[in-house]
Amino acid sequence: MINESRRGFVGKAFGAVAAVGGVASLLAMKKTWDPLPSVMSAGFTTVDVSGLEANKLEIVVWRGKPIFLLKYSADMKPTDGRSVKIGEDYFSVMIGLCTHLGCIPAYQNEKKDFKCACHGGEFTLAGVNKFGPPPRPLDIPPFKLDGVTLVLGEEGPEYKAMMAKA
Amino acid sequence: MAEFKQADSVLEWFDQRLGVVKFAKVMMTEYWIPKNINFLWAMGVLLSVMFAILLVSGIFLLMYYKPDVNMAFDSVNYTIMQEVGYGWLFRHIHAVGASVIFLIIYIHMFTGIYYGSYKKGREMIWISGMILFMLFSAEGFSGYMLPWGQMSYWAAYVITEIFGGIPLIGGDLVVWIRGNFYVADSTLTRFFMLHVLLIPLGIIGAIVLHFYALRFPHVNNVDGEFFDFDKEAEKYMAGKHKESKVVPFWPVFLAKDFFVLGVFLVFFFYLVFFHYGFAMDPINFDKADGLKTPAHIYPEWYFLWSYEVLRGWFFPVGPLSGKDLGLLAFGFANAIFLVMPWLDRSPTVKPANQRPYFGIWFWLMIADLMVLTLFGKLPPTGPNAWVGFGASLTFLILFIALPFVTMAEAKKAKGK
């Protein structure tokens, strides 16, 4: 009887130690799969937009995705809730992946719109879908304005205001 | 220590220490297989041999493959294909083998469904088999990423993106799985680990479980007949070979299996040497580029049916978007075969052609899977999208209807 209860105690004590160790190792394994600090810090892209030319598409890479930056010329009308005012000028800031199947649409600077070669989807200069299979406008990446500098990956007040409207 | 006598032969020496004679009896010469089976019962041995072929060719590829986004593509397409002696052969064996093993898995699986081999005590054989199917799917997917071509990249992108549809944690989960915000070096190295170590270990473990699960309920036969294996084995050992309903695994059953295996290997190596192109997508000979999506993204043929179930839902219903619905249907399609033994409510173990309702159900299911497979390869536009939706919906309805179909069948059988 005494032996039984001693064995039972040792069993329970081992179970407790093993459970703590098990949970701790699971946590460590989860952390090992987390994105590395260098990957996290590379998750922000900073662009100076003052040098951009109007009606010419600039593509920067943010988190492996193409980001469209388009400065409007005088005859290009801003779209409420989608065009970003930086300084005196309006810009389109959008993720350049078609919302249909993820192809990269091309900018046609004479027609001033985007056309996706894969399935014929078309978007306005502000990225609103106007023809073809795309189900919704081009996505807008989280951004923050810092004078004429655009920080992609951080949610600034301008971005939050735009999202509230959409 | 136990008493050891001087051994008279090498065999006896090993038998004293490892019990090899008893082991050979249990595993081979006194492991009983029914007589009334056909060539479809050879698929298990074919699969074991295919797994060995994939393992060996994989070991040779592993010596030259480099899991790094800058080196992977060239290590496969230049080093292995052009420099290493017979490197091309090992690559073609590995690629064709991955495709062919799925063909045999499907034959094996649908043989089990056709003959009701998942019922009445054989549930664990079926479940361990379905676990193997899932592990092989993960193995195929992770391996497809390694050559780091365009299709490797975008298949990895689309499939990891699927987890983003899980509510609340989806977005973070995708980043966690990839180890980056997009499919990157961290994704390649961890899927390399999964492909060459963790999943193969799981596969070997599941194969052991699958074989072990066969020992108690025994292999099914073409008539779904139940008989006393011990009694039939006694008859066989007493020399009444004709009268007994069973044969030993070795040498009798395997002799027939080797013939089927021989025919199969001729077919397999014909594909490897003369027809390997079907396993080598031309788009995958362009190096992965995260900024350039191929016009059409599709998986290898063996994943097309479940890919089409995922894609078939392209419009919202109520609060659920098309993407959510597709994801739910995809989850259903991948899990539903696992509970097959409980969906089939009829106690009869008979081949499908002797079961009035189940027979119809079986061929409808096969036809639906074929439609899904065909349309999974086509671009999902225009009428294709509607055929895909119809076939995807049919798949769900078939499996939801199965318990009712089989219950009606059981009632009919009782009435007779």
pLDDT digits (tens, 9 = 90+) for A25-58: 999 999 999 999 999 888 888 988 888 888 889 9
| Assigned domain for A98 exists | yes
Asked whether residue A2 carries a pLDDT value surpassing 70, the answer given is no
Query: Would an 8 Å CB–CB cutoff place A102 in contact with chain B?
Result: yes
Q: For residue A153, give both structure tokens.
A: 């990956």
Q: Given an 8 Å threshold on Cβ–Cβ distance, is B293 in contact with A133? A: no
Give the gap in angstroms from C-alpha A122 to the nearest C-alpha of chain B: 16
- Residue that has been written with the tokens 């807008």 in this structure: A140
| Assigned domain for A39 exists | no
| Assigned domain for A60 exists | yes
Q: Sorting pLDDT into bands at 50, 70 and 90, what band is A3?
A: low
Query: Would an 8 Å CB–CB cutoff place B292 in contact with chain A?
Result: yes
A36, B179 in Cβ contact below 8 A? yes
A38: left (phi over 0), alpha (psi -120 to 50) or beta: alpha
Per-residue pLDDT at B365: 97
Verify that A29 and A86 share a domain, yes or no. Answer: no
Verify that A90 and A110 share a domain, yes or no. Answer: yes
Give the gap in angstroms from C-alpha B114 to the nearest C-alpha of chain A: 38
Among chain A residues, the shortest Cα distance to B294 is held by A103
Verify that A77 and A150 share a domain, yes or no. Answer: yes
- Residue that has been written with the tokens 């539903």 in this structure: B336
For A60-75, write each residue's pLDDT tens digit: 999 888 999 999 988 8
Give the gap in angstroms from C-alpha A161 to the nearest C-alpha of chain B: 22
pTM, rounded to two decimals: 0.90
Q: What is the CATH number of the domain that holds A63?
A: 2.102.10.10
Number of structural domains found in chain A? 2
Which of B178, B181, B293 faces A102 most closely, judged by CB atoms? B293
Per-residue pLDDT at B381: 75
Verify that A70 and A148 share a domain, yes or no. Answer: yes
Q: Kindly report the backbone phi and psi dihedral angles of residue B265, in degrees, each rounded to the nearest multiple of 5, phi listed first.
A: -65, -35
For A104-145, write each residue's pLDDT tens digit: 888 988 888 998 877 778 899 999 988 877 888 999 999 999
Digitized pLDDT (tens) for each residue of chain B, 416 residues in all? 678 889 999 999 999 999 999 999 999 999 999 999 999 999 999 999 999 999 999 999 999 999 999 999 999 999 999 999 999 999 999 999 999 999 999 999 999 999 999 998 999 999 999 999 999 999 999 999 999 999 999 999 888 988 888 888 988 999 999 999 999 999 999 999 999 999 999 999 999 999 999 999 999 999 999 999 999 999 999 999 999 999 999 999 999 999 999 999 999 999 999 999 999 999 999 999 988 878 788 899 999 999 999 888 888 888 887 778 888 999 999 999 999 999 999 999 999 999 999 999 999 999 999 999 999 998 877 788 899 999 999 999 999 999 999 999 999 888 76
Amino acid, single-letter form, for residue B397: I
- Residue that has been written with the tokens 């052991």 in this structure: B208
Verify that A133 and A62 share a domain, yes or no. Answer: yes
- The structural domains of chain B, with segments of one domain joined by +, span 31-293, 298-416
B203, B136 in Cβ contact below 8 A? yes
CA-nearest of B162, B137, B142 to B305 is B137
SS3 at position B249 = helix
Give the integer Cα–Cα distance in Å for A38 and A35: 8
Give the integer Cα–Cα distance in Å for B88 and B73: 14
| Assigned domain for A18 exists | yes
SS3 at position A19 = helix
Q: In what order do the strands lie in the sheet with A45-48?
A: A45-48, A149-152, A143-146
Amino acid, single-letter form, for residue B279: A
Verify that A70 and A133 share a domain, yes or no. Answer: yes
Q: Which of residues 28-67 of A touch B (CB under 8 A)?
A: 30, 33-36, 39, 43, 61, 63-66
Task: Show the domain range for A142.
Answer: 45-165
Among chain A residues, the shortest Cα distance to B182 is held by A64
Tell me: ipTM over 0.85.
Answer: no
Per-residue pLDDT at B349: 93
B345, B403 in Cβ contact below 8 A? yes
Q: Please list the residues that pair with A131 across neighbouring strands.
A: A122
Q: Given an 8 Å threshold on Cβ–Cβ distance, is B180 in contact with A64? A: yes
Q: Is the peptide bond before B251 cis (omega within 30 degrees of 0)?
A: yes
Q: Which of residues 293-352 of B touch A (CB under 8 A)?
A: 293, 295, 297
Give the integer Cα–Cα distance in Å for A156 and A164: 12
CA-nearest of B304, B407, B369, B327 to B165 is B327
Among chain B residues, the shortest Cα distance to A66 is held by B291
Give the gap in angstroms from C-alpha A9 to the nearest C-alpha of chain B: 32
Per-residue pLDDT at B252: 94
Which of B177, B181, B293 faces A64 most closely, judged by CB atoms? B181
| Assigned domain for A40 exists | no
Which of A35, A64, A117 faces B290 most closely, judged by CB atoms? A64
Which of A34, A64, A97 faces B184 most closely, judged by CB atoms? A64
In this structure, whether the domain defined by B31-293 belongs to CATH 1.20.810.10 is answered with: yes
Cα-based torsion angle of the residue sequence B390, B391, B394, B398 in order, rounded to the nearest 10 degrees: 180
Query: Would an 8 Å CB–CB cutoff place B168 in contact with chain A?
Result: no
Verify that A50 and A11 share a domain, yes or no. Answer: no
Q: Given an 8 Å threshold on Cβ–Cβ distance, is B291 in contact with A63? A: no
- Residue that has been written with the tokens 């004479």 in this structure: A110
Give the gap in angstroms from C-alpha B293 to the nearest C-alpha of chain A: 5
